[in-house]
Amino acid sequence: MLKIKVRKGEKIDQALKRLKRKFRDTQVLKQLRERQHFTKPSLKRRNQIQKAQYIQKKKDLEME
């Protein structure tokens, strides 16, 4: 649960900005999306390997 205390004399816009930054930095939304469905560990590893291969391929193409 994220909590932001609004300081005395602080504008609501600034407090919302701090809340959004904290929300982004703690990666709450990412965790929620991951927990929506179960992914087998072997599939997670496979996806990581495929992602790494894709990134490496892009870097190799840029070097040429």
pLDDT at 37: 92
Model confidence pLDDT, tens digit, residues 9-45: 999 999 999 999 998 999 888 888 889 999 999 999 9
4 domain-assigned: no
Q: In the predicted model, is pLDDT for residue 53 greater than 80?
A: yes
* Tokens representing residue 64 in the block: 């040429």
| pLDDT exceeds cutoff 90 at 54 | yes
Give the structural domain span for 50. Answer: 12-63
Give domain status of residue 17, yes or no: yes
Asked if residue 58 is part of any domain, the answer here is: yes
Number of domains making up the chain: 1
Q: How far apart are CA 27 and CA 22, in angstroms?
A: 9
Tell me, yes or no, whether 37 lies in a domain: yes
CA distance 36 to 23: 18
19, 29 contact by CB (below 8 A): no
Does residue 18 contact residue 4 with C-beta atoms inside 8 Å? yes
